Amino acid sequence: MTQETAADTAAWTGAKAILFDLDGVLTPTASVHERAWQELFDGYLASQPGVSGYRESDYFDHIDGKPRFDGVRDFLASRGITLPEGPLDDDPAHDTVHGLGNRKNAVFNDIVSAGVEPFQGSVRFLQAALDRGLKVAVVSSSRNAPAVLKAAGLSRHFAVVVDGVVAAEQGLPGKPNPATYEYAAKLLDLSSSECVVVEDAVSGVQAGQAGSFHSVIGVDRGAGRQTLLDAGATLVVNDLQELIP
């Protein structure tokens, strides 16, 4: 074991649970979300003359890791646009915050319906954690987490899934607030200090850093190593397999 590997392994040594973000950590669905958001805003902004178009950086700057409707609001705010909220189940054809969010969700579901292949390094790390007797949970801002876990063949590993639906039912604020991660720890009957947070998004790392967790492991899927460290990650890896001794 190299000195670097030993340091990485120490980030989860002594913990009793691993709390995984889903999109971009366990599954490559972050790229699917990026594609769905781009399709949504390319279409919407085409009818907004004089407004700058959607850029790849907008996903990381305004959307990544946040609850869906917060992502809609924050992106629109970056363009100086304010829309009515509309009902939560608003028609995807309506240009409201909830309508646009539901339109994005429809695009996402169409893409993932063909199945999702999880990151193999993440699956190996998950199995290593389970083999050590650690508890595991998924904490995701997405309301699609159960469907994505099922499509990826990972549902059987996670009795605890705190997603956007659970957060709404429990009145929990989304990331970067640590409340959803703290709630997952509570459901596992553990304290936050006994749990490791694993995240690829800045808002998720900030959520982990804001709570009293054992450590926060960042996975660089595009946000940038230094960006995740600056957000509060204990360490950053390119692949979770790097954490296996």
21 has catalytic annotation: yes
Q: Which positions ≥6 away from 103 have C-beta within 8 Å? A: 40, 92, 93
Residue 31: per-residue pLDDT: 84
Position with higher pLDDT, 81 vs 147: 81
pLDDT bin (cut points 50, 70, 90) of residue 10 is confident
Inter-helix orientation angle 97-112/29-45, to 10°: 130
64 has catalytic annotation: no
pLDDT at 2 over 50: no
pLDDT digits (tens, 9 = 90+) for 47-68: 999 999 999 999 999 998 898 9
Catalytic residue among 8, 23, 58, 220: 23
Residue 7: per-residue pLDDT: 54
Measured distance CA(157)–CA(154) in Å, rounded: 6
Residue 187: per-residue pLDDT: 99
- Delimit the CATH 3.40.50.1000 region(s) of the chain: 3-28+117-243
Residue 181: per-residue pLDDT: 99
Could you count the other beta carbons within 10 Å of the beta carbon of residue 2?
Answer: 7
Tell whether pTM > 0.75.
yes
Listed in order, strand segments (DSSP E) in the chain are 17-20, 135-139, 161-162, 195-199, 215-219, 235-237
- For CA atoms 158, 26, 36, 204, give the dihedral sign: positive
Q: Three-state SS for 217?
A: strand
CATH code for residues 31-112: 1.10.150
- Delimit the CATH 1.10.150 region(s) of the chain: 31-112
Catalytic residue among 21, 58, 70, 163: 21
Superfamily of 3-28+117-243 according to CATH: HAD superfamily/HAD-like (3.40.50.1000)
